[in-house]
Structure 1
């Protein structure tokens, strides 16, 4: 289902003309109303009237998470505070949180892009959407809520957690769409299986999963356990929240609502723009956001962009699945490692549960990587006699994927912590 055919299927020429018009307007608004942007543009020697083509966006300075933190709490707002009707923040686990402010029009925009996302999952007015993203300062819950209401679906605002209640509601209400983090979807599937809830008693047809990186192997595991189509949604608090991009049922990249969010890919070291199809750091500019426009925000997410018409009919530019973050990547003995690479290797192996934790240590000045992997009940049965052989096989698979030798520790079923929100995959003890 295409929610907004005019916007989602626009010709490339019409879209570029619209993007330029909106870019010129947002740059002017940011310059005139946000002291931070006026100062940064002046330092860069650029004025709003210098933006004559889309490529001129490269003349503008980047915005970083640090810039937003420094403006805490309301220094990035482009409207008077009494026009901001809602605020959200990041978790602030690594310092001051970043604040995101919304006007009434911004909330309507947010609902619009989420409505498009839910349409890509096949959701419509007759669906019951079980929204298990967290409500509150986290953007997930409210964003999905607004979009679900916009398409006229029934929203179950259950929020994150209370897993047994989630499963009970899922069965009793006949929920057809589940929205939550992929790690929590996996846990729901695991608990349903453990509680003897049959796939037939669950009516889910689609899942909209985001807020953390996940692999194709994880998708397969979720689909198998919950008997649904698992699709990837992308967003970030600094830009608007979830709904920046979403997979359609083609499952071949995420459509960015690029009439509202202008994407670029840059080299994270040189900050030069990278050609279409090549991997680099995603940079986003809000084209229509009123309360808090963000210009060239460095997301730190690694992906590539691809233009062209999708088999679903949409012409929105696509971004590849996020393979890592430039600030989340691990550098182990000079080798760059993304947790998603380890997950990919693990989920190809039978008799392992899709739960793992990576522990990084530095004994005697040399980095060591330990991967703790959960095994299934079957693994500890009498049938499996060669534990060391299997452990070595897992180490070899990971070595093949990342090019580094790691220490694998096999742990018993249910022994690793479960997450109702974002999963904690890496414990880095090198700085402790």
Structure 2
């Protein structure tokens, strides 16, 4: 199998608009698309069976997270060409629960519906879940909120953010994974054990490869996730390089589910930045801040080129702004010791950095070229 060629987003972009279509026009009932924010968008055609299979996987995800027909599921990701909103909705409907198809933004309306309809499940990005949690705290309406679970996807997030949202909302949170090229969200999720994410090997074949040698890695070793679709009709993909970094987890999950697991996505092979010869991943910064008492999960990395040299600035929220000087020194020292580069640390109060209804941008590279 490993002798078969890889495919990646560059190949898919070259096929724009419908070069990926593998069945006659009369069999295609829907298309979805990537945003195209970093180049030509990728258009993925779906057959009726593709939509049914995707819905089946999404329902499995919800059942693994403990959802039932009695749940009221508030869906905040976007609809339209993006796979997220409609993908979650079809899974909720297949399960038989109540879908509350809010879409993104309009936090005032989100909170009103959350209270009036007594929503029990929130589906969102981690960034928007944090914004919702902070608004609920600010307004003092936690006693009017009935949320029990959060289904969180679309962006990588760290343990400190997870703990903060779970504590603020009093809910259990579940990572859900997916990408537009491979159906959409709902191809894997973690269960109540939170010891890995179950993926559906009757629909998908997962490999993890060394991104440098492109050789498959054994279970337990971290590398780049590669996915082959086994049942997709409209746009089947062979050995698709996701650029997401994870590992396959050997053995069965203590929850008893027989579907295999991969670990949480810890980053991407293409989201690293190089500063003064040092490779930096946002996941490293997440881990660093999680180890420092008083530091928040929210930060920004700013990279500038001044006077002929690169300068890295870390804006980070802290709990006690009266202790800013000491916290700045401590975080800068830890950054140098653990990541290997000098940083200018600028602490700020919790809530001062921007909040987003979608994905949060962490790295701002202002260097030219």
TM-score range, shorter chain: over 0.9
2:347 corresponding residue in structure 1: 410
TM-score by length of 1: 0.82
Equivalent residues of 2:33, 2:44 under 8 A apart: yes
1:17 corresponding residue in structure 2: none
Give 3-state SS (helix, strand or coil) of 2:2's partner.
Answer: helix
Aligned pair partner of 2:228 in 285, 301, 306: 285
Equivalent residues of 1:342, 1:401 under 8 A apart: no
In 2, Cα distance between the equivalents of 1:321 and 1:428? Answer: 26
1:319 corresponding residue in structure 2: 262
For 1:15-414, list aligned pairs within 5 A: 57-198=1-142, 200-376=143-319, 379-380=320-321, 384=322, 386-414=323-351
In 1, Cα distance between the equivalents of 2:243 and 2:18? Answer: 23
The CA RMSD over aligned residues, in Å, is 1.5
Q: What residue ranges of structure 2 are gaps of 5+ in the alignment?
A: none
In 2, Cα distance between the equivalents of 1:175 and 1:418? Answer: 22
Q: Which has the larger radius of gyration?
A: 1
CA shift for structure 1 position 360: 1.5
Equivalent residues of 1:121, 1:207 under 8 A apart: no
- Which has the larger helix fraction? 1
Once the two structures are superposed, residues 318-366 of structure 1 have per-residue CA deviations (whole angstroms, 9 ceiling, x without a partner) of 1111111001112222222111221232244444443211112222443
In 2, Cα distance between the equivalents of 1:344 and 1:196? Answer: 31
Give 3-state SS (helix, strand or coil) of 1:313's partner.
Answer: coil
Give 3-state SS (helix, strand or coil) of 2:182's partner.
Answer: coil
In 1, Cα distance between the equivalents of 2:338 and 2:118? Answer: 41
Equivalent residues of 2:158, 2:297 under 8 A apart: no
CA shift for structure 1 position 171: 1.3
Equivalent residues of 2:17, 2:42 under 8 A apart: yes
- Which has the larger strand fraction? 2
More divergent stretch after superposition (413-422 vs 158-167): 413-422
Call closer, same or farther: CA 1:265–1:297 in 2, change over 3 Å. same
Equivalent residues of 2:77, 2:103 under 8 A apart: yes
In 2, Cα distance between the equivalents of 1:259 and 1:397? Answer: 45
TM-score by length of 2: 0.96
* Residue correspondences, number: 369
Equivalent residues of 1:346, 1:398 under 8 A apart: no
Equivalent residues of 1:307, 1:315 under 8 A apart: no
More divergent stretch after superposition (330-339 vs 178-187): 330-339
Q: What residue ranges of structure 1 are gaps of 5+ in the alignment?
A: 1-56
In 2, Cα distance between the equivalents of 1:227 and 1:108? Answer: 33
Aligned pair partner of 1:420 in 357, 362, 367: 357
CA shift for structure 1 position 317: 1.5
Call closer, same or farther: CA 1:424–1:64 in 2, change over 3 Å. same
In 2, Cα distance between the equivalents of 1:256 and 1:300? Answer: 17
In 1, Cα distance between the equivalents of 2:159 and 2:60? Answer: 23
Call closer, same or farther: CA 1:253–1:399 in 2, change over 3 Å. farther
Q: Which runs of 4+ in 1 moved over 6 A?
A: none
CA shift for structure 1 position 398: 2.9
